[in-house]
Amino acid sequence: MYQTIEKIENNGGSIDSLGIPGVSSTNSITKNLALVLAAVGFIIILAAFATGLPETIMTFFRNLNDARKNEEWGPLLKYLGMVFGVIILAFVVIALYNKYVVDVANGL
């Protein structure tokens, strides 16, 4: 899996030509690292919003069941409004991250 320095040099390569796999070798190392960090940050943001998703779905169905039993739809509608608010907030945060972090990383 890993090649030794001698094998790389014998195959016509050099130590200076090593880089991040799958990334353009014409970019500087700082740009490549900035793009990798931007991708990691994007994944962290998505994971943060997706962590509460299963609990949110279960709470919604629990509130729906309580609303059917007690015939009080107010708490369910309030909870549904909060869920839509969080979804909108997630899209806004991802759009801002894309605009200010990823675009800056691409501009390096």
> pLDDT digits over 46-105, tens only?
898 888 888 888 999 999 999 999 999 999 999 999 999 988 998 898 888 888 887 777
- CA-CA distance, 72 to 106, in Å (whole number)? 51
Q: Is the pTM of this model over 0.75?
A: no
The owner of tokens 């094998």 is 7
Question: Which residue type does 71 have?
Answer: E
Q: What's the alpha-carbon Rg for the chain, to the nearest Å? A: 24
Closest CA to 104 of 30, 43, 19: 30
Q: What is the largest CA-CA distance in the chain?
A: 78
- CA-CA distance, 73 to 76, in Å (whole number)? 5
Q: Strand, coil or helix: what is 2?
A: coil
